[in-house]
Amino acid sequence: MSLEEYLEAADLSELLRELGAQNVDLLVREISHFTAKEAEKRDKIVLGYFGEDGVNKIVDSIIAGLNSHP
């Protein structure tokens, strides 16, 4: 299962409760707002600052770091 598939199938409220988060309903609303309304704007800002090649290098670096840890 890919990360995207996992996130689509995950119950965000339950996950936040398991993590011991406070105000789960508020957090879910804020996360939903950010992903629906703000993320695209932030993506454009990041792309404008780093360019597509820069973003790809950042992503590759993060993936390499994740793959190097068990």
Is there a contact between 13 and 28 (Cβ–Cβ < 8 Å)? yes
Name the pTM for this structure: 0.48
Q: Looking at residue 70, what is its pLDDT?
A: 65
Each residue of 23-62: pLDDT tens digit?
Answer: 999 998 898 888 878 888 888 999 999 999 999 999 999 8
C-beta of residue 43 within 8 angstroms of C-beta of residue 62: no
Q: What are phi and psi of 69, to 5 degrees?
A: -110, 135
pLDDT at 22 over 70: yes
Structure tokens at 64: 């390499």
Domain ranges of the chain: 3-67
- Higher-pLDDT residue of 41, 10: 41
